[in-house]
Chain A
Amino acid sequence: MSGLEESVEFAENPEPRCPCVLLLDTSGSMQGAPIAALNEGIRTFKRDLEQDLLAARRVEIAVVTFNSEVRVAEDFSTADVFEPPALMAGGQTFMGTGINKALDLLQARKSQYRANGIAYYRPWVFMITDGEPQGEAPEQVQRAAQRVREDEDAKRVAFFAVGVEGANMGALATIAVRQPIRLIGLNFREMFVWLSASMQKVSQSQLGDQVPLPPAGWGAI
C-alpha cells in the first residue's frame, strides 16, 4: 500500500486556544525608555510566537492598558494576526480597574470558546507595572485582589505580576498570589522571550496540570 502518511486523513477540529492577557501599565512614569522597551518587547513576543507553528495558531493575545483610564488596546487574536500596539505613557495608575477588566475579558473569551466548542488551556494574565495602584477608588483594588485570589484558587487563571524598577513590590505581593517578579533593568526582550517559550510549552502540553516553565533569566524575586 502507499504509505500511511498519504492515506490517513485527519479530523477537522478547531485548534485549541491558550488565552493570554498582557496587562500593561502605561502611566506617566513609564514614559521614555521604559515604554519604548516595552513596545519593542511586545514585538519580540509576537515574532517569537509566530515561529512556532502550533503556538502561532493556539496562543491568543489580548492587550489591556491602564493609566488614568483602562483600555483594551488589542482584543484576543492569535499570534499570527496579532498587531502589537504602539503604546504611549501618561497619567495615573488605575491598576485595580485594569485587573478587573482583564479578568472580565478572559471570562467573556472563555464563554465564546465554550459556545463554539473550542477547547482551551488555563488562561494567563501577565501584568507589568512600575508603580502601585494610584488615583482609583480603593474598592477597585480590593475587588481586583480578591478576584485574583479567588480565580487562582479555582484555577481559573494564572496571574503573574512583573515589577519594573520603581514598582512597589510589597503592594504587588498583596494583589498577586504568585510571588511578583522584579524585572532586571529594562530587560523586556528576555522577559517576552521567556513568556513566549512558556506559552509555547503550555500550548503544546496536552496534559499535565501545570507544565514546568523555563527558568526566568530576566527577573528576580
Chain B
Amino acid sequence: MEAPDNEASSTARTGSARRPRAARTPAGLRNSTPAQSLGAAPAKAPSAPPEAAGSAPRWKVASVSVRGTSHERAGGVCQDSHCVRETAPDRLIAAIADGAGSAARSEIGAEIAARTAVDALCELLADGGAPPNTDEAWAIALRAAMDRARAAVECEAERLGLTPRELASTLILLFATPALAAAAQIGDGAAVIADADGELAILTVPQSGEYLNETTFLVTPGAVEAAQTAVWRGPMRFAAAFSDGLQILALRLSDHSPHPPFFAPLMQFIAAERDMEEAQAKLASFLVSPRITERADDDLTLLLAQWAG
C-alpha cells in the first residue's frame, strides 16, 4: 500500500476513460447535510421495497461474510455484514460493512449500517423517480443514504446504552445498473467493476490513516460528509465489493489497481453458476480455504454481481 500521505492522489490519477470519476466532498456540500439537500424525510422507519415481482432478477449475486480465523481463535463473532437488494427492473443496491475489531458490539453496528444504507438508498431513488444524472447528485444521494445509516446506528447505540463508537463499522454502498455504477465508501475495503469487455476498474479505494490499523468509521464525526464517492458510466457487466481483509489479495496496493488474475476466475465463476445458493456456498468455502486464511485472518466479505441480461 502506498504511504497514506499519498492516498489523496488516487483521485488525481490520470488514466484511461475507464477510470471512474471520483467526486470527493464537493465544496457545495459542505454546509448542508445530504439529507437536507435531498429534502428527504428524516428518521423514517426503513421498509423493504418490494422485489421485482414476477420478473426473473437479472443481476446474479453471490455475497458472503465469513468469520476470520483470528476471530475464530479468540471465540469472537463475524463482525462483517452485507445487504443486497435487486430492485426493478435492473437496479442492484448493495452495502457491506466491516465492524471495527476494537468496538465491543460492532457486529450489530455493521448489520444496521449495511441494511439501513440499502433501505435508504432504495427509498431515496424511489422517491426521486429517475436516478441522479450528475456525479454531484449521486454523491448527495449516496451520502444521504449513509447519513441515515449513521443515524440508525447511533439510535441503536442509545437504545443499548452504548456509545456509537462501540457500534463502529466501515461502510461501502454500491448502486449498479447495466449502464452505470455509483459507490460511496467510508473506511477500508473497495468496490471494483468490470465493463462489457471484462476490463476492470476501481470504483472506491481503501481509506486509512497513516497506520494500517486506523481507519474511518461511519460514526466518526464528519465521516459521511467526507465519504469517498465515485460514478462510472458505460456498459458494465460485473461489480464486486469487499472488506479490507481481501484488499491485500485483490488490489495492487501501490496504486489500488484491481489484480486481474484475482477477479477473472471470480467473474467466470459467477457467470457460469446457475444455482445462486450453491454459488454462495462455494464462495464461502473459498473464503475459508487455507490459501486465503494464511494470508488474511480477518473477517472477510466478498460480494459479486454479474449482469446477466
* Residues of A bordering B, CB below 8 Å: 1, 3-5, 7-13, 16, 53-54, 113-114, 117-122, 155, 201-202, 204-212
Q: What residue of chain A has the Cβ atom nearest to residue B244's Cβ?
A: A206
Chain B interfacial positions (CB closer than 8 Å to A): 1-5, 70, 98, 100-103, 170, 187-188, 208, 210-215, 244-245, 247-254, 259, 261-262, 265-266, 268-269, 272, 282-283, 285-286, 289, 291-292, 294-298
How far does the alpha carbon of A9 sit from the alpha carbon of B4 in the complex, in Å? 26
Q: Are B70 and A204 in contact (CB under 8 A)?
A: yes
Once A5-B289, A206-B212 are accepted as A-B contacts, the answer to whether A10 and B254 lie under 8 Å apart by CB is: no
DSSP majority for the A interface? loop
Q: Are B213 and A122 in contact (CB under 8 A)?
A: yes
Docked Cα-Cα span, A54 to B212, in Å, equals 15
Tell me how many residue pairs across A and B have CB atoms closer than 8 Å.
132
- Please tell me if the beta carbons of B272 and A114 are within 8 angstroms of each other in the complex: no
Which residues of chain A have C-beta atoms less than 8 A from B268's C-beta? 1, 7
B261 and A121 within 8 A (CB): no
Smallest Cβ-Cβ distance to B272: which chain A residue: A1
CA distance A122 to B98 in the complex (A): 20
Pick from B213, B259, B297: contact of A9, CB under 8 Å:
B259
Report B297 CB to chain A, min CB distance, Å.
6
Task: Verify B248–A13 contact, CB threshold 8 A.
Answer: yes
Bound complex: CA of A173 vs CA of B247, how far in Å?
A: 40
CB-CB nearest in chain B for A5: B289
Known contacts A120-B211, A204-B70, A211 near B262 by CB under 8 Å: no
A209 touches B265 (CB 8 A): no
Question: Taking each of A8, A120, A210, A211, which has the highest tally of chain B beta carbons within 10 Å of its own beta carbon?
Answer: A8
Residues from chain B with a CB closer than 8 A to the CB of A114 are: 3, 5
B220 to chain A, nearest CB (A): 9
- Whether A8 contacts B211 in the complex (CB less than 8 A), given A54-B297, A206-B188, A208-B102, comes out as no
Q: Which residues of A contact B259 (CB under 8 A)?
A: 9-11
> Does A11 contact B101, Cβ atoms closer than 8 Å?
no
Complex Cα gap A117–B215 (Å):
18
Whether A207 lies near B101 (C-beta < 8 A) is yes
- Asked if B269 and A13 sit within 8 Å, CB to CB, the answer is no
The answer to whether A4 touches B269 (Cβ under 8 A) is yes
Contact of B262 among A9, A117, A118, A209 (CB under 8 A): A9
CB distance from A60 to the nearest CB of B (A): 13
Most B CB within 10 A of own CB, among A3, A11, A54, A120: A11
In the bound assembly, the distance between CA atoms of A21 and B211 in angstroms comes to 17
Q: With A4-B265, A4-B282, A5-B291 as known contacts, state yes or no: A208 contacts B100, CB within 8 Å.
A: yes
Top 9 nearest A-B pairs by Cβ distance?
A208-B102, A11-B259, A119-B1, A9-B261, A7-B265, A208-B101, A114-B3, A4-B286, A10-B249
Q: How far is the CB of B233 from chain A (nearest CB, A)?
A: 27
Query: Given contacts A1-B272, A16-B212, A117-B2, are A207 and B188 in contact (CB under 8 A)?
Result: yes
Let me know if A121 and B283 touch, CB within 8 A.
no
Please, which residues of chain A bring their CB within 8 A of the CB of B261? 8-9
For A11, the chain B residues whose CB sits under 8 A away are 248-253, 259, 262
